[in-house]
Amino acid sequence: MAIAEGKAFAQIKGSYIKLKVKSPPASLKVGDHVVSKLKKVTKEKISSVFSEVVNKKDTQTQEEKNVMAIMTSVTQEASRELEQLRQLCKVDNKKADFDTSLVDQKNFLPQGDQLAQ
Amino acid sequence: MPFNQIVPTSQLVEFGYIPQSKFKVGQRLEATYLGNDQFSLLPTAWKKKDVKKGDLVTVRFVKNISGKGVTVQVAHNKQNQFGFVPICEITDEVNANVVRFVEDKKVFAARVIDFDTKSGKPVLSARESVVDDKLWKFTQPEGTSIEFKEADEERQSQGNLRNKILKYGADVALQRGDLATGYVTNIGRPGCFIQIGHNCTVSAGLNDLDDSTSFDFNSNMPVGRLVVGRISSAKEGPNGQKRYGFSTRQSLVVYGVGTVDRAKL
């Protein structure tokens, strides 16, 4: 969920698809899991009206909870060894060949009102 | 090692002891001295002239090849035979620093799973489920698919597809949406390359590494990092071999990929 100037945008669960959520409550924050009713679907954009905020833990299936647990344990284990790995692999991260300008911002939830038209 | 020392079973693993072996009290064990105060309890430690696929051998850690795996010395009659253990074939455990893991072991058991096409050197796996004879009989080509599925199902559900890839090859074993764990083997301008199994490297574009645009790629994705993700795409390459896209974004890993078909909306 991303919020900008009273408009909210969400990513459909399990996909890259983004949609605009109209009439969000003031208490809504980034990362909230919400249900919204689709209003308009075109090739360019999808817009919907906010219905309710759902509790993440209650709505996750058992499989999703298991995967979340696996991901948490792997991420924790990886984070613990990050510094040592950097030294071990002798990779100078400042010179790592990443070019963040190549990140396609359209594939992320918009920071501003990217989809608000 | 002094002869009067009592060695616990846990320590025997370092000498090539296979956990499923059963010993009787008072039974004499034959050990092979490998040099440098190290022994092997494997019956094949020194008797074989050549190794072939499926052989269980004792190996000694030689050096780490950054982000790729470790070079090992294979203990048998042919002097100075070296082999290679790919980074994802070192252990089945969720271990973020596999190099230290084998450095600490020094000498350990491994199974020959392939031979390098260029050098002819053996490629080995030291993963617990491959070294274990009981599980290997299902993973090897002679093992039936049904028995293998039963034996490996739990590992696969936890994102360990390495046995499945080893048995069937990546082209057959993998499909879009599969959960997999692996290690970053290379980084470049478009993103990361992640090895999730033997002869199976998938690519994760910069957009697919994290949900946040502010994710610090430079410091968080060093070569050798352990990651979990899902196969986000499978495309056929120019040589007919499949190329797999991989995503480590939490929103896709937890909820799956391709769960919404936009064409049906």
Q: Do B206 and A108 touch (CB under 8 A)?
A: no
Torsion of CA B104, B124, B192, B231, to 10 degrees: -120
- Which structural domain, as residue segments, surrounds residue A21? 1-56
Q: Do A8 and A31 share a domain, yes or no?
A: yes
| pLDDT attached to residue A93 | 46
- Can you tell me the distance from the alpha carbon of A10 to that of A35, in angstroms, rounded to the nearest whole number? 10
Put simply, the chain A residues between 86 and 105 with a CB less than 8 A from any chain B CB are 86, 88-91, 93-94, 96-100, 102-105
Tokens, residue A90: 């002798």
| pLDDT attached to residue A114 | 41
| pLDDT attached to residue B260 | 61
Pairs across A and B, CB distance < 8 A: 130
Q: Do A52 and A4 share a domain, yes or no?
A: yes
Q: Do A14 and B190 touch (CB under 8 A)?
A: no
Q: Do A50 and A24 share a domain, yes or no?
A: yes
> What angle (nearest 5°) sits at the alpha carbon of residue B87, between those of residues A63 and B202?
60
Q: Do A51 and A77 share a domain, yes or no?
A: no
Radius of gyration in angstroms for the set of CA atoms belonging to chain A, rounded to a whole number: 18
Residue A17 pLDDT > 60, yes or no? yes
In a domain, A81, yes or no: yes
Q: Of A56, A84, A103, which closes a domain?
A: A56
| pLDDT attached to residue B12 | 66
Q: Higher confidence at residue A16 or residue A35? A: A35
Q: What pLDDT digit, counting tens, does each position of A62-104 carry?
A: 888 888 899 999 988 888 888 877 776 654 444 445 555 555 5
Task: Say if the ipTM goes beyond 0.85.
Answer: no
Q: Do A32 and A72 share a domain, yes or no?
A: no
3-state secondary structure at position B130: helix
How many CB atoms are closer than 10 A to CB B223?
22
φ, ψ for residue B240 (rounded to 5)? 90, -15
Q: Do A17 and A67 share a domain, yes or no?
A: no
Show residues of chain B in contact with A91, CB under 8 Å. 66, 187, 222-223
Q: What pLDDT digit, counting tens, does each position of A25-71 carry?
A: 888 877 777 888 888 888 888 889 888 887 766 667 888 888 889 99
Determine the residue among A42, A54, A71 to mutate to test chain B binding: the one whose Cβ has the most chain B Cβ atoms within 10 Å: A71
Point out the residue among A13, A60, A104 whose CB comes nearest to the CB of B259.
A13
Q: pLDDT category, A116, cuts 50, 70, 90?
A: very low
| pLDDT attached to residue A113 | 44
3-state secondary structure at position A79: helix
| pLDDT attached to residue B241 | 81
| pLDDT attached to residue B84 | 93
- Can you tell me the distance from the alpha carbon of B179 to that of B172, in angstroms, rounded to the nearest whole number? 15
In a domain, A115, yes or no: no
Q: Do A4 and A52 share a domain, yes or no?
A: yes
Q: Which amino acid, one-letter code, is at B170?
A: A
Tokens, residue A46: 């999808």
Instruction: List chain B residues with pLDDT less than 70.
Output: 1-22, 34-40, 42-49, 76-80, 258-265
- Can you tell me the distance from the alpha carbon of B113 to that of B56, in angstroms, rounded to the nearest whole number? 10
Q: Do A103 and B94 touch (CB under 8 A)?
A: no
Give Cβ neighbours of residue B2 (< 8 Å, ≥ 6 apart): none
Say yes or no: A44 contacts chain B, CB-CB below 8 A.
no
Residue B97 burial by Cβ neighbours in a 10 Å radius (0-12, 13-18, 19+): buried
Q: Do A41 and B95 touch (CB under 8 A)?
A: no
Distance of CA A109 to the CA centre of its chain: 6
3-state secondary structure at position B159: coil
In a domain, A116, yes or no: no
Distance from CA of B206 to the nearest CA of A (A): 6
Tokens 């905020």 belong to which residue? A53
Q: Which amino acid, one-letter code, is at B213?
A: T
Pairing outcome for strands A7-11 and A2-4: antiparallel
Say yes or no: A35 contacts chain B, CB-CB below 8 A.
no
- Can you tell me the distance from the alpha carbon of B110 to that of B154, in angstroms, rounded to the nearest whole number? 22
Q: Do A36 and A4 share a domain, yes or no?
A: yes
Q: Do A1 and A48 share a domain, yes or no?
A: yes
Domains and CATH numbers, chain B: 9-131 (2.40.50.140), 171-264 (2.40.50.140)
